[in-house]
Amino acid sequence: MSVDSDRLADMFVDLGEARAAHLVSISVERLEELMASLDLAAAQVRPGDCVDLAGQIRAVGDSLGLLSLSLAARGVSRAVQSGDPVAVAATMARLRRLAMRSFRIAAELQHRSG
């Protein structure tokens, strides 16, 4: 999992530990919601929604410095736009794995901050 630790550290310095931890918590909850919505949109073969949701996941990942998650979301978007169901399945699986790692990293950060 590639993380922009400088971006994350800057957020904690700028906002303070408690506020930054709260922001991470809210962002992770949003990521969980977006992932569930993306899974549903993919299952229902709604490509426009998939591209939109992948873009939102990418934006949240970028804001938290979760570079791998952001890149995986971009991969999903490109796969959906290509119309290749195998590529969509593969990139979705990668995004799910990286999202789970992101959730664990966020939980660890929250645990460390109190």
Measured over all CA atoms, what is the biggest interatomic distance in the chain, rounded to whole angstroms?
45
- In this structure, the number of other CB atoms found within 10 A of the CB of residue 16 comes to 12
Range of the domain at 60: 5-113
Please write the tens of the pLDDT for every residue from 11-69.
889 998 889 888 888 998 999 999 999 999 999 999 999 999 999 999 999 988 889 99
* Confidence at residue 56, expressed as pLDDT on a 0 to 100 scale: 98
Total count of domains within the chain? 1
CA separation for the pair 113, 9 (Å, rounded): 12
Task: With a cut of 90, say whether residue 98 has pLDDT above it.
Answer: yes
**Domain CATH number, residue 14:** 1.20.120
Instruction: Spell out the long-range contacts of 58-62 with Cβ–Cβ below 8 A and sequence spacing 24 or more.
Output: 60/27, 60/30, 60/31, 60/34, 61/31, 61/102
* Confidence at residue 38, expressed as pLDDT on a 0 to 100 scale: 98
Q: Taking residues 8-12, what's their average pLDDT?
A: 84
- pTM score above 0.95: no
Assign 97 a pLDDT band (cuts: 50, 70, 90). very high
